[in-house]
Amino acid sequence: MSEKNIDETFGFATRAVHGGNETDKETGAIRRPITMANSYELPYDPSVVNWSSAEGNVYTRNGGANQRYLEKKLSLLHGAQDCIALASGVAALSGLFFSLLKSGDHVIFSSVTYIAAYRLLNELFNGKFEVETTIVDTSDLDAVRKALRPNTKLAHIETPGNPTTAITDIAAIAEIIHSIGGYLSVDNTFASPYNQRPLELGADFAVESLTKYINGHGDAMGGAILGKKELLEPIRTQAQVNLGGTISPFNAWLITRGAVTLPLRMKQHNQNALAVAAWLERQEKVRFVDYPGLASHPRHGVAAKQMFGGFGGMIAFGLDADHDTNNKFVSNLRVITSAVSLGHDESLIVFLGENDERQYLYPKRFHNGFFRLSVGLEDTDDIISDLNHALLNINKPYFGTAYLR
């Protein structure tokens, strides 16, 4: 049976299709099976086994076969030496922070991040474990330089940032943090490795919520940390074996399958979102649109430099409307679903009301309530038509779907 040995010399789509897959040696099936087992048979003398090791097959919390196939595919997609696949994006973030940081360290992190990153760093690590934290608008390089301290161990950035799509210059921050011997981690969830690969831009760690674009079908949760082998090795044991954030074999299998079509899906997300953002920008009732692919985005130039595959499917926008009217607008949508998460096949929207406790960290245009729209894979015209209908009928109840065609 021949091994395919697909490596980084192959194109992105070939790596997405074949990475991590080989013919199953037992059955000859050309797809690897799901190994739903908690335990693996011990050797004759089990006293030689290190129960806390993430190497080999002992117990699925220490690592399992499907997780390793997924890690292989993700490493190839990110151009990474190594990968740790975990149960969720938050398991990846907490695994990284708990393994890397100790009391007395200082962390700089973006003022626009997923809420759990903010809570982990600002409340748990700062509040309980004496890790110093500084929240910085990391799109402002001078502000980052000013925030450095002798004990700065980590800069954690998200770009594009959730929820506003704020853009941070990855290569520039890598240079700044490396000048004092610190590390850079980049949450790449909004972009996916098709559009942006932080390790190639100088980051030490890339973090992904696999729940989003990489799985892409809204039916499995996962997370990943990618980087150099020597940096990931100590994190793997802590994140899986001791913190217990291991991904289930079934979810690892689902995400491995979903990731096969990542390049095709991302092309469509990029194309749809650019068309939707450009349309939104032309509407009178739309107060602002932030999309990294629009020339009007405050950091469009930086996004164009580092998002080499495209600008992604995430748009932030606000209406010229009061709180109740914003909710009515969403209730009039029929193609786009009001639900959290993003990067699914279907379009999803969330109204972020005026009571977001982190609002003071965002530019003023985000203070009166705004929308985070994850543009899906539906026909572009149907998404725009749905938004148009909801805008035109903002004060009327829903009356059918005939407008769609």
Interface ranges with ligand PLP (CB under 6 A): 88-90, 114, 116, 158, 162, 187, 189-190, 209, 211, 221, 223
**What is the Cα 144 distance to its own chain's centre?**
22
Burial 376-394 (b: 16+ CB within 10 A, else e): bbbebebbbbbbebbbeeb
When CB distances to ligand PLP are compared, the closest residue is: 89
Shortest CB 118 distance to ligand PLP, Å: 11
Shortest CB 92 distance to ligand PLP, Å: 8
Judged by CB, which is closer to ligand PLP: 86, or 136? 86
Q: 215 to each of 5, 219, 374, how far by Cα in Å?
A: 23, 8, 15
Judged by CB, which is closer to ligand PLP: 88, or 326? 88
Instruction: Indicate the burial class of 324 (C-beta count within 10 angstroms; 0-12, 13-18, 19 or more).
Output: exposed
Judged by CB, which is closer to ligand PLP: 21, or 306? 306
Shortest CB 67 distance to ligand PLP, Å: 15
Judged by CB, which is closer to ligand PLP: 17, or 116? 116
Shortest CB 286 distance to ligand PLP, Å: 23
The one-letter amino acid at 369: G
> Who contacts 6 (Cβ-Cβ below 8 Å, separation ≥6)?
14, 15, 18, 19, 76
Shortest CB 111 distance to ligand PLP, Å: 14
Judged by CB, which is closer to ligand PLP: 76, or 191? 191
Residue at token pair 């021949």: 2
Shortest CB 348 distance to ligand PLP, Å: 11
The one-letter amino acid at 126: N
Shortest CB 341 distance to ligand PLP, Å: 6
- Packing angle between helix 323-331 and helix 380-392, nearest 10 degrees? 140
Judged by CB, which is closer to ligand PLP: 111, or 332? 111
- Other Cβ atoms closer than 10 A to 39: 9
Residue 183 in contact with residue 109, Cβ under 8 Å?
A: no
Judged by CB, which is closer to ligand PLP: 21, or 211? 211
